[in-house]
Amino acid sequence: MLQKKELPKLNEGFARIVFCHNENDVEATIKAYTALGPLDTLSNGCFGQKNPDAKIQLGIMKFLKKVEAPSNVGSSSDSVQDSAYPQASDANNICCKGTAKESLLLGVASKEVKESENLAKGSVDDDVSVDEITTLAFPSISTADFQFNNETASDIIVEKVEEFVNKLENARLVLVDLTHGSKILSLVRTKAEKRNIDSKKFFTFVGNITQLYSQGGLRCNVIANAANWRLKPGGGGVNAAIFTAAGLALETATKERANSLLPGHAVVVPLPSDSPLYTREGVSHVIHVLGPNMNPQRPNSLNNDYNKGCSILREAYTSLFTGFLSILRSRSKLPRRISEKLALTPLDLKDPSLDPRNHLTNSDQKIKRDDGCVYERSKKCKGANDETVADISAPSSTYGKVTGDKSKLEGPTSKTWGSWAQALYHIAMHPEKHKDELLEVLDDVLVLNDLYPKACKHLLVLARHEGLDGLVDVHQEHLQLLMTMHAVGLKWAEKLLHEDSSMVFRLGYHLAPSMRQLHLHVISQDFNSNHLKNKKHWNSFNTAFFRDSVDVIEEIKNHGKATIKDEDSQLSMELRCHRCRSAHPNIPRLKSHISICQAPFPHALLENGHLVLAPKT
DNA sequence: GTTCTAGAAC
DNA sequence: GTTCTAGAAC
C-alpha cells in the first residue's frame, strides 16, 4: 500500500522503503518523489533518488506481477539488487513474506546500522530479521580478464547454481558484477529465470563486491575472489579489490592455507577479525577460486580449448559452492545460542564472547578458526594449560583412550591398531609433546617429516581431528579438512620445490594406512631412500593403493565418501616403474632402474594436478 | 610402520 | 655361495 504520509520528508542519512500495491501506486510514488528532486532509474523494478547532502540513496522498490528485465540500465548508483525479486500477483502478499521484506531491506539498507534500524522501523511494519541468512556473493569466474566466453560461462553458472541451490537450506547465492550493463549478469538472470531457479536462493546484484553491505545494504558473510594462481594481491579487477579491501590480514590468512591454486580449485580462508572487510562488511570468509584462462596474455592459457575450459570452470564453481557448503555445515554445528548470533554484523558484536568466531564447539570437531582472536587464545592456552589439545577432542569419545595400555586399541572403524601404529595419533592429540618433530602447527593439521622417508623428501600432513583414523572414516563433513590438508601439503611441496626445482611431488593417502590418524603423504617422486626396502613400500606409493588427494577430494564432493577396495591386491602387484611402467623382478633391480629412468610421467599423473612440479620458467 | 630371519630364488 | 622376500613379533 502506498503510504503517502511518508512521502514528503526524508531525513538526512535515512532511506525509506515504500510498498506499492500496483503499477498506479508505483507511478504515483515516483511522481511524488520526482517532485522532490530528480529520480534515477537504478535498475529493473527499482528506482532511486540521490540526495547529495544525505549521501544516501532513497530507493523505492517496485513489486509487480512480472517485470521484463532490460539488460542495460544506465545509472550512477553505487549498487543495487539486480532484479530477480520474488514475483507474485499481489504486492501485499509479498510484503507479508519475510523473504520479500529481506529483499527490500537488502535493496535499500542505509550505510550505518543505526540508520538501517531506523529505516526498518520507519517504513516496515513487521520486524523481520534477515540475519539468519548466510549469503555467498561471487563474481563471474574467468569471464573478465581470463576472457572466457560469456554465453558458455552463463550456462555453466546456471547449471552449477541449479545443482547446489537446493542444498543451501537457509542460505543463498548472489552473482555480483560491478557494472549495470554487465552481459554476464543479464545472461545468467535470463537463464536462471527460464530454469525457474528459486529467486530467493539465487539472484544477481550490481555492486562492488567489497562494499556490498556498506554501499549496497546486501549482507554477505562469504565472498568469492576470482584469484590468480599465486593467490597474491594485485593484478586487477575483483582480486585486487578484495585484497586491498581486506588488508594484510587476508594475505596472511591466505598464506596459512595455501601458496597457490590450480585452475578449477578453491580455497576457503576464514577472514581474521581485524580485517576491514570483516569489521565493515561482515565478511567472515573469503573463498579464492581460480578459473580457466582463455587469455593468451595470462599464465596457463588454454588456447581456446573450451572442452577443457568448460570442465575446469565447472570444477571451479563446484569447488566454490562446496567450500561455501562446508562453511554452512560448520556453522550449523554451532550451539543454537551462538548460531543465532552468527549473522550479527561485527558492529553489533560489542561483546566479543558473542562472536561465534571466538567459540569452539563441544562436538567432536572444532570449529576451525585461525583468525587473530582464537589463534592467539589457543597459543596462550597451550602455554598455560596442557588440556588445550584434550579440549579439542571429543569428551564423548568412546575410543582411543590413550593410556599406557599395550593392548590393541580400537579406532572408529573398529580396526585394531597395534601400539606401534598409534604414534601419529599421539602426536596429533598431543602436539605440545612433540614440538621438535613438527614442521608446522595449525589449527586443523600438523606437518612433520616421515620418520622413515621413502624418498628424498617425504612429509606428512596430519589431521588433528579425533575420530579420523584413515580414509575410511572420511565423509562429506570432512571436505573442508581434506581441502586444508591438500592446501597445506601443496604449500610445503612448493616450498621444497623452491629449494630444488627438479623435484616432483605427489600428494595422497594410503587406502589402508598402517598408522592410525588420517595423514596425507607429500612425497617426492625420486623414491631415493634406503628406507624403501620392499614390494609393499613401493606399491603403497605407486599403485591404486595410493589415492591422490585431488581425487579423494573429488570423490568426497561427489559421493560423500572415498572408494575403498582391493587394498591388499594392490600391495602384492608386480613392481613397475612409475615413469615408464617397465616391470622389474625385485626391489634392488627396480631401484637401480628408477635411479636412471628419465621417461616422462604417465598422462594420468600429469593431468588434473596429480603431480606438483616447479612452474616452467 | 620397522626389525629379524628362515628359506626361496638365483 | 649370495640375494631377496615375506611372515612374525613388536
pLDDT in tens, A398-437: 233 333 343 445 555 567 888 889 999 999 999 999 999 9
The closest nt to A588, taking CA to C1', is C4
Instruction: Please give the Cα distance from A18 to A1 (Å, whole number).
Output: 8
Predicted local distance difference test score (pLDDT) of residue A565: 80
Give the CA-to-C1' distance from A586 to C2 in angstroms: 15
Higher-confidence position of A393 and A231: A231
C-alpha cell, A10: 526524508
Protein residues with beta carbon less than 7 Å from any atom of strand C: A 418, 420, 534-535, 572, 575, 586-589
CA-nearest of A311, A327, A292, A259 to A141 is: A292
Give A157's contacts (C-beta < 8 A, 6+ positions apart). A140, A175, A184, A188, A317
Question: Distance (Å, rounded) from C-alpha A584 to C-alpha A580?
Answer: 11
pLDDT at A374: 24
Q: A291: which 3 cell numbers?
A: 578459473
Q: How far is the CA of A301 from the C1' of C6 (A)?
A: 50
A432 vs A392: CA distance, rounded Å: 13
What would the mean pLDDT of A375-400 be, rounded to a whole number? 27
> What number is the average pLDDT over the span A161-169?
87
Q: What is the predicted pLDDT for the residue at A409?
A: 55
Residue A546, pLDDT > 70, answer yes
Architecture of domain A131-355: 3-Layer(aba) Sandwich (3.40)
Averaged pLDDT for residues A369-386: 28
**Who wins on pLDDT, A131 or A41?**
A131
Among A224-228, A313-317, A388-392, A520-524, which is the least confidently predicted range? A388-392
Which nucleotide lies at the shortest CA–C1' distance from A587?
C4
The pLDDT value recorded for residue A82 is 58
**pLDDT the model gives residue A286:** 95
What's the mean pLDDT when you consider all of chain A?
73
What band does A148 get if pLDDT is binned at 50, 70 and 90?
Answer: very high
Is residue A616 pLDDT above 90, yes or no? no
For residues A113 and A578, the model is more confident at: A578
> Which nucleotide lies closest to A530 by the C1' atom and the CA atom?
B2
Q: Which nucleotide is nearest to A418 (CA to C1')?
A: C10
Q: What is the DSSP annotation of A86-113? A: ---S-HHHHHHSHHHHHHHHHHH--SSH
d(CA A577, C1' B4) / Å:
28
For residue A65, pLDDT over 90 is answered with no
Q: List, chain by chain, residues whose CB lies under 7 Å from nucleic acid strand B.
A: A 418, 420-421, 451-452, 510, 513-515, 531, 533, 537, 540, 585
Residue A441 pairs with which residues in a beta bridge?
A446
Which bases along strand C come within 7 Å of a protein CB atom? 3-6, 10
Integer distance in angstroms from CA A495 to C1' B1? 27
Instruction: Show which positions of strand B are touched by protein (CB under 7 A).
Output: 1-3, 10
- A386 vs A332 pLDDT, higher one: A332
Q: Where are the beta strands (DSSP E) in A525-580?
A: 546-548, 575-576
The confidence score (pLDDT) of residue A3 equals 41
pLDDT at position A332: 67
Q: Is the pLDDT of residue A265 over 70?
A: yes
Across residues A495-500, what is the average pLDDT?
A: 96
What is residue A51's predicted lDDT score, i.e. its pLDDT? 37
Residue A550 clears pLDDT 80, i.e. is over it: yes
Please report, rounded to whole angstroms, the spatial distance between the CA atom of protein residue A295 and the C1' atom of nucleotide C3. Answer: 57
pLDDT class for A350, splitting at 50, 70, 90?
very low
Q: Which nucleotide is nearest to A531 (CA to C1')?
A: B2
Residue A388 has pLDDT above 50, yes or no: no
pLDDT at A230: 84
Residue with the larger pLDDT of the pair A19 and A240? A240
Q: Find the nucleotide nearest A572 (Cα to C1′).
A: C6
CA A447 / C1′ B4 distance in Å: 31
State the average pLDDT over residues A133-152.
Answer: 93
Distances (CA, A) of A339 to A277, A359, A374, A455, A608: 20, 11, 17, 46, 38
What CATH number labels A411-613? 3.30.428.10
Sorted by where each begins, the domain ranges of chain A are 1-126, 131-355, 411-613
Q: What are the Cα distances from residue A144, in Å, to A182, A289, A294?
A: 11, 14, 10
DSSP element (H, E) containing A584: strand A583-584
**Strand runs (DSSP E) across A119-214, as ranges?**
134-139, 171-177, 202-206
Measure A595 CA to B8 C1' (Å).
27
Which residues of A carry out catalysis? 519
Highest-confidence segment of A167-176, A365-374, A395-404: A167-176
Question: Distance from residue A602 (CA) to nucleotide C8 (C1'), in Å?
Answer: 37
Residue A37 in this model has a pLDDT that exceeds 70: no
What residue has its CA nearest to the C1' of C5? Answer: A534
pLDDT of amino acid A413? 54
